Amino acid sequence: MKLWLKIYLFSILVFVVIFNAASIMVIERSHNKMLGQAIDVALSQNMSIHSSVDAIVPILRIYDSIDYEKTVLTRIANEFVDKNSDQKIYLDITDDSNRTVFNNSGFPMPAERSELGNLINNRIHYILRDMGSKTILFTANITDINHKAYVFTYMKDVTSVYQERVDQYKFFAQVDLAACLVFMMIMLIVSKSLTRSIDRLNRTAKVIAQGNFSERVQLKSRDEIGVLGASFNEMAGVVEDKIIELERINEEKQRFINNFTHELKTPLTSIIGYANFLRTTKYKEELFVDGLNVIYSEGKRLESLSLKLMDLILLKKGHFQLEQQSLHKIIAEMKPALDIMVKDKGVQVVLDCQDANLLLETDLIKVLIFNLVDNALKASSAGQTVALRNFWREDGCVLAVMDQGIGIAKEHQDKIFEPFYMADKSRTGSGSGAGLGLAICQNVADIHNASIHISSRMPHGTIVEVIFAPTDTESGSR
């Protein structure tokens, strides 16, 4: 069952129960009050008759005649009935032998009258009886006249009181029906309105479930459902970001596999081809030497590829201890090795370093610098310069490697840190690179909580900046 229907039916049920219960209580209270008033009036009238009889008892004692007593009582009864003829009252007087002295009821008196039991002077008993289509209130008391007991029964027709209750119930039934119809229409609109926001959430959730992760629910209310909508949108945003991130990672993994397969295929093809050639060709020293050189160089290339892949795996899984180190000292230690790297290329390495104490892992920083210089060297030509600098600025300590090579196109700059990605084969000179150097550099930078920025303009060279965010200790060592 839908929520709006539950709200609708439950509210109608509550309304009907409360409205009917309250109405019944009001009608019954009103009826009981009117009936109580009628009983009080009847008792008062009975007492009035009793008082009138008591007033003439001394005279009746003088005459002490039964006929005279009955005549006087009949006269008093007629006067009272005539005086209250418009009030539908009846009077019955009987003597101690249960003979009727006066009766104007017009209907037979009931055979059993419980109100006559245990009657005593100055005490009135009363009871309500249904007499045909009428409801009659019987009040009875006893009066002693000349040692004879006369029973006075004052009867009042209270049918109108009960008919009033019936009329009120009929009126209430009409009002109840009209009120329920109006309430049902109002609650239909209210319940639909209350759940409209939930319907929007449900529709949006279905759209997102179908793959449209950019869909958002539009809710303007500030109540709990509005807060839920805002939380839903926030959740959808996080899910969308995670899905995009997963898709990106998946694409990178697939690209890694494709590139890795391609990088393996080229040297393996050369090795297998030359090995098969040497196996099926008559021995010629020159040919064998050339073939073995190719096999050796391609084997070394595979060895380099495997070592760099191992570096990537270790950098992702390893936990390294960073210690306070002098970046200037590390660079100075690498100067001889860098000179050997650039010697055959005819490129000059220029160092311009300031003193900087940072939290570093020495071997990793050397790997970082080696790969950055190696990339700059591959992009450079003979006679050009590769500059290695470190200096302080507002955002931290900067390690910069600058070359005068061919540069990197703008559309490739956001992808060059991916494994095996190479913006331009010509940038690697012989094309012997595997595109892993910058990926290793990025992992080393991440371990040091540093960031790498590329600034390049074709064909005027490239600047790679590794920015180490300062700590309190590092800032004090500038």
Q: What is the CATH number of the domain that holds 402?
A: 3.30.565.10
Residue 149 and residue 9 share a domain: yes
* 207 is a domain residue: no
**Pairing outcome for strands 148-157 and 134-145:** antiparallel
* 189 is a domain residue: no
Contact 43, 124 (CB under 8 A): yes
* pLDDT (0 to 100) of residue 263: 64
Residue 311 and residue 337 share a domain: no
Output the furthest CA–CA distance in the chain (Å, rounded): 177
* pLDDT (0 to 100) of residue 14: 93
Average pLDDT, the chain: 82
Residue 27 and residue 155 share a domain: yes
* 154 is a domain residue: yes
Q: From CA 22, how far away is CA 14, in angstroms rounded?
A: 12
Domain span at residue 375? 321-475
Domain termination residue (choose one: 166, 186, 202): 166
* pLDDT (0 to 100) of residue 259: 64
* pLDDT (0 to 100) of residue 409: 78
Residue 351 and residue 306 share a domain: no
Q: Which residues of the chain have pLDDT under 70?
A: 63, 256, 259-260, 262-263, 266, 304-305, 308-319, 419-436, 471-478
Q: From CA 345, how far away is CA 381, in angstroms rounded?
A: 7
Residue 106 and residue 69 share a domain: yes
Return the bridge partners of 93, or none.
102, 152
Q: From CA 474, how far away is CA 355, in angstroms rounded?
A: 11
pTM (two decimals) = 0.50
* pLDDT (0 to 100) of residue 34: 93
* 202 is a domain residue: no
Contact 107, 132 (CB under 8 A): yes
* pLDDT (0 to 100) of residue 26: 93
Residue 365 and residue 297 share a domain: no
* 92 is a domain residue: yes
* 240 is a domain residue: yes
Residue 160 and residue 234 share a domain: no
The count of domains in the chain is 3
Residue 403 and residue 364 share a domain: yes
Q: From CA 137, how far away is CA 34, in angstroms rounded?
A: 13
* Amino acid present at 136: I
* 171 is a domain residue: no
CATH number at residue 121: 3.30.450
CA distances from 255 to 252, 261, 268, 281, 415 (A): 5, 10, 20, 39, 11
Residue 366 and residue 283 share a domain: no
No. of helices (H) and no. of strands (E), the chain: 9, 12
**Residue that the structure tokens 């939380």 belong to:** 231
Residue 140 and residue 27 share a domain: yes
Domain termination residue (choose one: 109, 137, 166): 166
Residue 328 and residue 442 share a domain: yes
Nearest Cα residue to 367 out of 337, 345, 396: 337
Q: Which residues does 445 contact at the CB level (< 8 Å), separation at least 6? A: 368, 451, 452, 466
* 195 is a domain residue: no
Residue 332 and residue 304 share a domain: no
Domain termination residue (choose one: 104, 133, 166): 166
Helix (H, G, I), strand (E, B) or coil at 437: helix
CA distances from 420 to 303, 346, 454 (A): 15, 27, 18
CATH number at residue 301: 1.10.287.130
Helix (H, G, I), strand (E, B) or coil at 379: helix
